[in-house]
Amino acid sequence: MKDAAKLVGVDYRTIKLGIESGTIPTVELGPRLMIPRAALLRVFGVRA
């Protein structure tokens, strides 16, 4: 979450809330939740 927050320039709690609300999609890989980069950028309107 901290890496994702840094990438889009928001607080990590914003990412956490987005994941919990379903606004930010995640992929479960074993015990870890991964945030697809393209989807994260799209949610925040960042062009890659």
pLDDT digits (tens, 9 = 90+) for 1-48: 999 999 999 999 999 999 999 999 999 999 999 999 999 999 998 876
Alpha-carbon span 11 to 9, nearest angstrom: 7
- Cα distance from N-terminal residue to C-terminal residue, the chain: 19
pLDDT at residue number 20: 96
pLDDT at residue number 22: 95
pLDDT at residue number 46: 82
Question: CB atoms < 10 A from the CB of 37, how many?
Answer: 13
pLDDT at residue number 47: 77
